[in-house]
Structure 1
Amino acid sequence: MPAGPRLRVRRQEPDPSRPDRRRQRRLLALPGRGRPGPRGRRRLRLRRRRGQGRDSGRLPHGRAPSPRRRPPPAGPSRGGLDAARSQAYLVRPETERGPQAARRRAPSVRAPRHMSHAVIAATGLFTPDQSISNAELAAAYNAYAERFNADHAAEIAEGEVAELTPSSVEFIEKASGIKSRFVLDKAGVLDPARMAPNIPERADEDLSIMAEMAVAAARQAIAAWGKPVSEIGAVLCAASNMPRPYPALSIEVQQALGIDGFAFDMNVACSSATFGIKTAADFIASGSVKAVLMVNPEVCSAHLNFKDRDSHFIFGDVATAVIVESSDQAGPGGWDVLGTRLKTVFSNNIRNNFGFLNNAAPEGIGQPDKMFVQQGRKVFKDVVPMVSDMIVDHARDLGIDPATLKRMWLHQANINMNQFIGRKVLGREPTPEENVIILDEYANTSSAGSIIAFHLRQQDMAPGDTGLICSFGAGYSAGTVFVRKRG
């Protein structure tokens, strides 16, 4: 078949006023590929929207120039500002080339968007009206131990059962620094035949004992706050033990106070309060809510084995409350949250095996491991250096010299632990005003301890003073919250 006439195609010269799409695709393609990949196509779309010409601001292999960054706006400080610190503010390129750029409005700098941060606005404290001294507690334990040794004299003589040694006021104070503790029921604890608080169950329709404690602390915090509960958007119940799996204790508290929004429980043992503050601060930073109520009801006497000489003196009962709100609506006073940090490391050295699965293994019900159990010396050796280093590292990351801290409100578990941590953080022997101790009167109140210390020992601080709320305990778990007094 004869070949037809050969067509001659006239090559069209490129129009310099129009962008060369083929050349753009070729330059935006990833190395080794003939067509642009997802990133290249995205860059191409962005360039088309900007109306840039084919030669404007292009880098090798089609990489678009990175936008310049502007530092975030100055806030109260660098820390609660943990969320604001990560915000990048972008500036459009100052020059745009190509014919379409002239028809577009001149590039403008986007103003930095202000990000609110968390403020601790108010706190509350509920303290039971009954207190037990070391002398009373030691006498009750010794009466129990004497009775136990008499009832098991034969087994003790045969070496089958260990003889119980007596307790004393001197032993308790040297081991812990505790001199007394508040409890819901004194009579049951001091009864050698019982050695446990007597707290009767309540009907489901009645407010539970832990909710009642939490509501009392919360109402004190709300009164100090001076705002309606309608401004609270979330309720957190952060405690080492809950009375039941469900319904959540926090929802019961929410209903009792007439608060809308949502509520949930959280348990990180003695560190629950700082974990709760961190959670509340994150809600504030994300804009989810404007104010959060956190409560820490602790009935520690109910999970303490008063028949164990090594731990029968450790705990007390109490409830605390903290209101965290957005700086956008916070009034004068309160504390800016500069930064929060959490840490967990698994350990069995503090443990409580009580739970719903006990019903599936009835032979273990009532055994000592279904209450608080700890290896105290191991805990001291592991936790003290971990917490000390955590505080120092967090402070330096926030640009704070640890030695300049005006006050530390540490977890109130053991005076020896707190003194050691205070020396490590400050680099010297801390004064009683710098390293607050309230465990002599309240004993260890689990998650509430550091909040009690903060609630009772912060009124004398001046605007601009920096302090630390820190808790640590089972898990292991630890939390640090650096705060600064507002004007």
Structure 2
Amino acid sequence: MTLRAVVKGVGHYLPARVVPNSELETLVETSDEWIKSRSGIERRHFAAEGETTSDLGAHAARAALENAGIEASTIDAIIVATSTADLTFPSAATMVQAKIGAGGFAFDVQAVCAGFVFALTTANALILSGQARRVLVIGAETFSKLMDWKDRTTCVLFGDGAGALVLEAEEGTGASTDRGILSADLHSDGQFKDLLYVDGGVSTGTTGHLRMQGKEVFRHAVEKLASTAHAALEKAGLTSGDVDWIVPHQANIRIIEGTAKKMQLPMEQVVVTVQDHGNTSAASIPLALSVGVQRGQIKRGDLLVTEAIGGGLAWGSVVLRW
């Protein structure tokens, strides 16, 4: 028998404040048409004053635990993927742990927009090694707090939110028909740091703002995302033809469409939420998974590919059967 990390529950949380493109027209020189044509984004959510990343993560965690029918006290580990933790330390994960009343151990993973894929892979490793039986994996971000509201090329793209999965160890047969995480593929290349970064931190003594070379990031994104997805499928002994749903990082509709085309899959098999959430970085994949389940798109037994690329550059994918 083969041990698998199986999804037992999923949930998400979005701040109450919805910000349509029309509101951003009052802040920078832009338009609803310009934003939609270049990104597919129509609206996004912003955290309220005093609402933190760990607050969002805790709400999503509770929703996932309720969906799974599992008590927080039975969780062995919490991993939060985020680039916008409340404080430099302690981790947002320990703050979520306290808010939901969980035990075990908790830590953050930081791989920017690819963070949830890295966190999911880490959770899988903890389960397969026997270090944990139940792991709560959360992507949570408040990117609105990193925006330069004078930079129209970036401030219109991002939003806040959180999504969460509960993973649990189960015995499988070792075949690709098993439920759970079947394979993963991770990469990074630090020489591309200047393409997407925040110009703040302990070296500057400031929080800083997000900086991005959009055209260059786009150029890398489609090729690298399709490549990592194919690699993960090959590791699982599967092909694009076996895939029921791509659940991509929701950065830009053109990147999503380009990746699907390279994978030779129609957009009808892609879960798309970018129009409603904007780019929520590490939160975007678990948000899309939760929304996909709510919509009735993702069903038990479906084969999913999740893929993401973010600052670093860091990118990767996970193949899992729901």
TM-score, with structure 2 as normaliser: 0.92
1:266 aligned to 109, 131, 141, which one? 109
8 Å Cα contact 1:118/1:324 also seen in 2:
yes
RMSD: 1.9
8 Å Cα contact 1:117/1:285 also seen in 2:
yes
Which residue is equivalent to 2:232?
394
Which residue is equivalent to 2:38?
175
1:342 aligned to 162, 186, 192, which one? 186
For 1:186-265, list aligned pairs within 5 A.
Answer: 199-200=49-50, 209-265=52-108
Which residue is equivalent to 1:381?
219
Which residue is equivalent to 2:311?
474
1:419/1:132 Cα in 2 relative to 1: closer, same or farther (>3 Å)? same
Residues 250-259 or 297-306, more deviating: 250-259
1:306 aligned to 149, 152, 167, which one? 149
Which residue is equivalent to 1:276?
119
User: Offset at 1:397?
Assistant: 2.7
Aligned-pair identity (%): 26
Query: How many residues get paired?
Result: 313
Which residue is equivalent to 1:407?
245
Residue 206 (structure 2) pairs with residue 371 (structure 1): no
* One-letter amino acid of the structure 2 residue matched with residue 336 of structure 1: G
Which residue is equivalent to 1:431?
267
CA distance in 1, matches of 2:261, 2:43: 25
User: Offset at 1:210?
Assistant: 2.2
Which residue is equivalent to 1:351?
197
Residues 243-252 or 261-270, more deviating: 243-252
Which residue is equivalent to 2:292?
457
Structure possessing the higher relative contact order (Cα contacts under 8 Å, 6 or more residues apart): 2
CA distance in 1, matches of 2:54, 2:73: 19
User: Offset at 1:462?
Assistant: 4.8
CA distance in 1, matches of 2:23, 2:52: 25
User: Offset at 1:228?
Assistant: 2.2
After superposition, what is the alpha-carbon deviation per residue over 1:418-463, rounded to whole angstroms, capped at 9, x for unaligned?
A: 00000001x25x133x012111011000011111111111344455
8 Å Cα contact 1:350/1:373 also seen in 2:
yes
Q: Would you tell me which structure has more strand in proportion to its own residues?
A: 2
8 Å Cα contact 1:470/1:478 also seen in 2:
yes
**What are the ranges of 5 or more consecutive residues in structure 2 without an aligned counterpart?**
173-177
8 Å Cα contact 2:78/2:106 also seen in 1:
yes
Q: Secondary structure at the match of 2:136?
A: strand
Residue 321 (structure 2) pairs with residue 484 (structure 1): yes
User: Offset at 1:264?
Assistant: 1.0
User: Offset at 1:468?
Assistant: 0.8
8 Å Cα contact 1:411/1:449 also seen in 2:
yes
Q: Secondary structure at the match of 2:255?
A: helix
8 Å Cα contact 1:124/1:221 also seen in 2:
yes
8 Å Cα contact 1:396/1:402 also seen in 2:
no
Residue 48 (structure 2) pairs with residue 123 (structure 1): no
| Structure label with greater radius of gyration | 1
1:339/1:179 Cα in 2 relative to 1: closer, same or farther (>3 Å)? same
CA distance in 1, matches of 2:142, 2:299: 34
After superposition, what is the alpha-carbon deviation per residue over 1:244-286, rounded to whole angstroms, capped at 9, x for unaligned?
A: 1222221121122222221111111011111111111101001
Q: Secondary structure at the match of 1:289?
A: coil
1:447 aligned to 279, 282, 298, which one? 282
8 Å Cα contact 2:54/2:85 also seen in 1:
no
